[in-house]
Structure 1
Amino acid sequence: MLLRFRVANHRSLRDEQTLSFVAAPRRGEQKRKGAVIPRTVSAAGIYGANASGKSNVLDALRWMSRAVKSSHTTWAPSGGVPRRPFLLDETGRKTPSFYEVDFLDEGVRYSYGFEIDDENVRGEWLYSFPAGRPRTLFERNGPEDYRFGRSLGGETARIAKLTRGNALYLSSAASNNHPLLGALYETLAEKVHFAEQDHFDEQARLSATMSLLEHPRAARDVNELLRLADLGLESAEVVRREIPPEVLTSFRRLREAVRESGGDFATDEEQFGKEIRLRRAGTDVTLDIREESAGTRVWLSMLGYTLVTLLAGHLLVVDEIDSSLHPVLSSTLIRMFKDPEINRTGAQLLFASHDTTLLGTMLADDTLGRDEVWFTEKDANGATSLFPLADFRPRTDENIERGYLQGRYGAVPYLNFDKVREIFRGMEPRLDEPSA
C-alpha cells in the first residue's frame, strides 16, 4: 500500500513534489493515540491543464518502479543512469534527481528512496518503522559507501560488492536472493501496474485480460463486467490463430531487441498466437477485437489489470482514465476501488484525468472525496507544482466540478476567446474559393 511518493528533478517536476494517499483529517477528528499506520484513501485523481505535468507525476513513479526492477540487470555497466531531469534550465542537468516512497508491506511501514545523477547512484536508503519507531536497514552515500543496520541480516557486504555504481542496491539484492529486500523489491517493482493510452500498452493490458479469459471462473467475471458495461456484447473468448513462420521469426527478433534495450515486452510467444473475439448480444456472430470501438477495447483491456489489482491488493496507475470511456464507465472503475465490499485487499488506484464529471455528484455522490483530488500547474519557467484539493478546505456541499472549471483552485488553462476571434478576423479568404 502506497502512503506517499516524493520526487524532484524528473521532467517538469523540477522542485520536490509530494503525492499522498494519507487521508485528510475529518472535521472534529482526533488524532488516534498510538496509531502506527495512518488512515489512507484507496483512490487519487490528478487534474490540470494540458501539459501541466499530470502525466509526469505518473511517469516519475513508473520510472522509479522500473529502476528498482531493472537497474541491476539491464542498465549498461558503462552507460550511466538513464534519468529524465528537468531540461529547461542548466540547474536540472547539474542537480541529482530524487525519488522516495513510503509504503506498507506485511503491515510494516517502510521508506525507500534514492538520488541519482547522469552517471551514478548518489544516495540510497531504506528505513522500516516497526511499532512506529524508525529503524535503519541500509544507507548508501555515493556509489560504494554503505552502512547496514543490525536488523537487516543476509549477505549485505557481498551484495554491495556486486552492485555497480549506476545500479540500485535494492535491485541487486533482489537479484541475489536477499529474503527481505527481495520481498520489498516485489512490492515496488511487481505489484504496481501501469496503464497508458497507447497501442503497445493496450496490447499488454489485453494480454492480462486474455490470461483471465482462459480460466473459466475468471472468464465468467470478466464477461459479466463486459455485459454490464452496456456495449452490446455478450461475451469474449480467446482463440488461437496460425502464425506464418516468417512473422514468428520477426516477433522473436523484436522481443529480444526490446528486452536488450531495457524495455518491457509483455507478450510472450504463446500469447502471440492468440486473439480475443467478441460475441454480439443476441447473435452467434463473433468479431475480432480490432474491429471494435476504442471504448470497447479500453474497457476490456482495463478489466484484466483492474481485477488482478483488486484481488491481489496492488496499485494500479492509469494515465487518462477517461480516454475513450464514457464517464459512467470511468467512474465505475474508481468506485470499484472505493467500495469496501469489492476492494477487500487494500488495492489502490492512481489516475490522471480531464473528466470533471468525476469531481461532481451527477454520476455518484462519492466518486472522489476532497482528499482524493490533486492538481498540477506549471509556472512561467515550465516547472510543475502538485497540490491537493484539501488545501482549499472546500465545504462539504461545495460544487467541486464547477469550482474547478471556474478556476477557484487553479490548474485550469486560460484561453482568451477574444484573441481567437481576432485571429480569424484577420485571416485571408482561401485562394481556391470563389469570391462572393
Structure 2
Amino acid sequence: MQFFLRIENEYQIDDKRFVNASGLEKRTRDNALFLAVSAQWNVKKAEKILEWFDKTYAVHGLMDQTYRDETLEILENKDHSHLINTFIKKADLGINGIDVMDIKYEDVIEFVPKEMKKNFKEKFDKTDNRAILMIHNKYDKDNKLLGNAPFLLDKYESEGTKKFFNMIGIYVKALKENRFLIIDEFDARLHTLLTKAIINLFNSPTVKSEAQLLIACHDTALLDKRILRRDQICFIEKDEYGGTELVSLVEYKPRKESPYDRNYLDGKYGAIPIISDLEELF
C-alpha cells in the first residue's frame, strides 16, 4: 500500500489514502521528511505512522549493556519484578533470583587509594552504582544444599548470562506494549535453545500480544520449521560487487519435509559465504 512516493523533490501523493497531505510538499525542505511535515500539519495517517516508528525498538545484540536500564526499571517495579525473575529462572542458568543493591559513596570511599580520592566523588556520581546480584544455590562438598549465595553479575557470570539479563527488559516491554522489535546479532553469546524459546514467545498464539520480532542472525539451527514458517525466513544474498538482496525462503519453494538448515548449508538457498581453503596459508 503506497500513500506517497518521493524521488528527490518530485512527489506523487495518493489523495484518498493520504488525506490532507497534498500541497504540503511545497512546505517540505530538501533535507526534511515529508512524513514528519505531514504529521506537523495534522495529517492523521502520518501521525499514526510516526507513532508506530516511535514504538519500534532497534537493538544491537552486541551492545546489550546499553539496554540494561530497561531490565532494571521493570525489576525495581514491585508490580512487574516477577517477570524478570521468572525469565531468569526458566532459562536454566542456575539462578534462583535477582537482587539489586545500591552502593553508597560512604560505603566505598574508605577503600579508595589516597592518590585516587581527589576526583573520586565526581566520577562516582556519574556512575551507575547499583550492584546486580544473581542468587545461586550453595552446596557443601557432599552436594547438600546449604542455602543461597549471591554472585555479582558483572564479575562472576558468563557473557551469555549478562546479555540475557540486559535484554530481558526489551523483550518484556515489546510484548506488553505491542512494539516492533528489531535485533541485530540476535544469537550472539546465547544458546540456541534459549534463542528458540525467545522466538517462540513472540510467535506464541497463547501470548496476548501484537508485538513483532525481526532478527538478523547466523545460527542455522534457527532455520527450524517447528518455530518458523517459510514466509518468516529470509536470506541476504551478496553478489560479486558487494550488493545485497533480500530473498524469502518461499521463493525457493522447499518441500514441507525439507530440512531448511541442511539445505541452506548445502547452498540450495544461496546466501552462503564462499570460503577459500585456509589450510593453504600454513
Please indicate, yes or no, whether the TM-score normalized by the shorter chain is above 0.5: yes
* Contact persistence 2:67–2:170 (CA under 8 A): yes
- Please state whether the residue corresponding to 1:217 is helix, strand or coil: coil
Residue-by-residue CA offset, 1:185-236 (whole Å, 9 max, x unaligned): 2211x211122133xx322321100111011232112111101111111112
Q: Which runs of 5+ in 2 are unaligned?
A: 106-119, 139-146
Residue 68 of structure 2 aligns to which amino acid in structure 1? L
Correspondent of 2:89 among 211, 227, 235: 227
Q: Does 1:413 align with 2:276?
A: no
Equivalent-residue separation in structure 1 for 2:10 and 2:129 (angstroms): 45
- Please state whether the residue corresponding to 2:209 is helix, strand or coil: coil
CA pair 306-112 structure 1, distance change in 2 beyond 3 A:
farther
Equivalent-residue separation in structure 1 for 2:12 and 2:202 (angstroms): 31
Q: Does 1:315 align with 2:171?
A: no
Q: Does 1:214 align with 2:76?
A: yes
- Residue in structure 2 matched with residue 293 of structure 1 by the alignment: 158
Equivalent-residue separation in structure 2 for 1:280 and 1:241 (angstroms): 21
* Contact persistence 1:126–1:136 (CA under 8 A): no
Equivalent-residue separation in structure 2 for 1:284 and 1:134 (angstroms): 61
- Residue in structure 1 matched with residue 243 of structure 2 by the alignment: 383
Q: TM-score, normalised by structure 2?
A: 0.80
Q: Which runs of 5+ in 1 are unaligned?
A: 1-101, 103-109, 117-121, 147-159, 252-268, 425-436
Q: Does 1:336 align with 2:201?
A: yes
- Please state whether the residue corresponding to 1:277 is helix, strand or coil: strand
- Please state whether the residue corresponding to 2:269 is helix, strand or coil: coil
Residue-by-residue CA offset, 1:398-426 (whole Å, 9 max, x unaligned): 11111000000100112243xx33332xx
CA pair 373-297 structure 1, distance change in 2 beyond 3 A:
same
Residue-by-residue CA offset, 1:224-274 (whole Å, 9 max, x unaligned): 11011111111123322236541267x4xxxxxxxxxxxxxxxxx9xx343
- Residue in structure 1 matched with residue 281 of structure 2 by the alignment: 423
Equivalent-residue separation in structure 2 for 1:111 and 1:235 (angstroms): 49
- Please state whether the residue corresponding to 2:148 is helix, strand or coil: coil
Residue 383 of structure 1, CA deviation: 0.6
- Residue in structure 2 matched with residue 55 of structure 1 by the alignment: none
CA pair 384-304 structure 1, distance change in 2 beyond 3 A:
same
- Residue in structure 2 matched with residue 374 of structure 1 by the alignment: 234
Percent of counterpart pairs with the same letter? 28
Q: TM-score, normalised by structure 1?
A: 0.53
CA pair 423-335 structure 1, distance change in 2 beyond 3 A:
same
- Please state whether the residue corresponding to 1:215 is helix, strand or coil: coil
Q: How does 1:45-124 map to 2 (within 5 A)?
A: 111=3, 122=9
* Contact persistence 2:182–2:214 (CA under 8 A): yes
Q: How does 1:36-47 map to 2 (within 5 A)?
A: none
Residue 65 of structure 2 aligns to which amino acid in structure 1? Q
- Please state whether the residue corresponding to 1:376 is helix, strand or coil: strand
Residue 316 of structure 1, CA deviation: 0.6
Aligned residues: 258
- Residue in structure 2 matched with residue 354 of structure 1 by the alignment: 218
- Please state whether the residue corresponding to 2:181 is helix, strand or coil: strand
Equivalent-residue separation in structure 2 for 1:317 and 1:126 (angstroms): 29
CA pair 135-186 structure 1, distance change in 2 beyond 3 A:
closer
- Residue in structure 1 matched with residue 51 of structure 2 by the alignment: 186
Equivalent-residue separation in structure 1 for 2:267 and 2:80 (angstroms): 44
- Please state whether the residue corresponding to 2:197 is helix, strand or coil: helix
Residue 270 of structure 2 aligns to which amino acid in structure 1? G
Residue 415 of structure 1 aligns to which amino acid in structure 2? I
CA pair 137-232 structure 1, distance change in 2 beyond 3 A:
farther
Q: Does 1:247 align with 2:111?
A: no
Residue 321 of structure 1 aligns to which amino acid in structure 2? F
Equivalent-residue separation in structure 2 for 1:316 and 1:334 (angstroms): 11
Equivalent-residue separation in structure 2 for 1:332 and 1:413 (angstroms): 28
Residue 324 of structure 1 aligns to which amino acid in structure 2? R
CA pair 369-215 structure 1, distance change in 2 beyond 3 A:
same
C-alpha root-mean-square deviation of aligned residues, in Å?
2.9
Equivalent-residue separation in structure 2 for 1:355 and 1:422 (angstroms): 27
- Please state whether the residue corresponding to 1:382 is helix, strand or coil: coil
Residue 213 of structure 1 aligns to which amino acid in structure 2? L
